[in-house]
Structure 1
Amino acid sequence: MAHYDLKTEQLKEMAPKLRAGDTVTLTGTVYTARDAAHKKIVAAMDAGDKLPFDLDGAAIYYAGPTPAKPGQVIGSVGPTTSGRMDPFAPRLLDAGLACMIGKGVRGQGVQDAMARNGAVYMVAIGGAGAAKAASIKNVEVIAYDELGCESVKRLTVENFSAIVSQDSVGGNLYTEGVAKYKKDCAKRRTGVRLRLSKNFVFRTASRSKPRFRANLEEKPRPADTFFLPLYKFRDTQGELPHSGKRGWPGPCSRNL
């Protein structure tokens, strides 16, 4: 993993060299466009109409900024979920788009288009839109004003920070991170030992209906060991005692 301070004009050259996990600060021009704007851009491509901006070597930030308050250049400008642009992104990538910035994992079709074109996908921190606004020095609506906050805007950015999430050679920070997490958990996992009472009910964290009810009067058995790090346990007589946060068993062995 490495860090790069880049001008956006360098993205066409540098995108194929960036790898998942690299951190980047961008200075230059970035365009905002969400799914409604993408739909219009693709329709313009199909019709042979002029596009709002030159896609060759461009960077698109999946964001819809809020209105600026007095004295501000722009309002909150956090990333939106990138998956909504997946149906349109391959067309734009094949037309020369070099960089996409958003949040969340991309589909295989986008990954394949990135590989074909040497493009890169970066993520910005969700929920930090106000902080992101500090790196934006100028904003100009250039197309589809009728879309309001989802209109296409030209942003002039300075030291806009992002993390390379998926690269052009198949690197994927999401799948790699999950695999590493599972591997680390497997090393540390000891399970939670429960001696079930007849009133014990197993529920998922979403508070759905009980998945099963244990009744030792019907099926006597010794204490069993369960590896259930993502489930919540509730006794019909109240919360079960445990280590860790309320309602969640900690990584320990406990007889109840």
Structure 2
Amino acid sequence: MKVLNMEFDPSEVYRPETDVGKGKAVEEYRNFKEGPLMDRVYNTYLLMHTNQTVEFVQKKNEEYGGCRRLQMSIMEALDLLDHVVDESDPDVDFPNSFHAFQTAEGIRKAHPDKDWFHLVGLLHDMGKVLALAGEPQWAVVGDTFPVGCKVQPSVVLRESTFHANPDMKNPSYNTEFGLYQPHCGLANVLMSWGHDEYMYRVMKHNRFALPPEAFYMIRFHSFYPWHTGGDYMHLCNEEDLRMLPWVKEFNKFDLYTKCEDLPNPEELKPYYQSLIDKYCPGQLWW
């Protein structure tokens, strides 16, 4: 696979400050201090940071890791996202299905030759179907972080939301490395449970015919304390550092394509169905 050229940022034309008529400036995205949705966002993170423990993550990995609960196609899962509004997101208050198309279309315009990357945009939040399977949103959405080691400074709302988490009382979980070895690799780290890890498991179980970069972006796209905050580098290996530019590239579209100008899914579905047929066709196990 060709190395991504990082000298030119093709998503600059889709950043809000140059996207006339769509409103928000860059600094207004991911505002966790104030805004009309902040009460909902704060409560979601408070529950997440209280309940996401080593024991909880291990339980969920075991519960969902086998992907034998039901069968459905990618388009059926996408339609289910019509009923999911992410309660951790301070930027949008519309169903996640629209966000999937916004992200995918942003990537498609900037990287027209990488159809697999377009599909990653469509797939990236599909694990949020967990919210329709009885899982609370704090166990599905939001930024992810490693459990079993010291919480790093760039974790969202770190100072005010971890006080009731029982792992905070365990000295072995509160050192820089905690359960892990230096540069062990993020694949060997227990991340807080949510839609990233779940969708990665679905893709792996069903053997999606996508490149390793696609699996990696899905698995770690919500790990903002790492790819944006610069923390947890002491746990990364060479593979993580090789993949980091891809995660950063994906994040531009995941974040900056969010706007109230919603796409028409029915117009876009035929193209994305062709990608699904190519890379992950048929009825899949979830």
What TM-score range do you get, normalising by the shorter chain?
A: under 0.3
In terms of fraction of residues, the more helix-rich structure is 2
Normalization by structure 1: what TM-score?
A: 0.23
Where relative contact order (Cα < 8 A, 6+ residues apart) is larger, the structure is 2
In terms of fraction of residues, the more strand-rich structure is 1
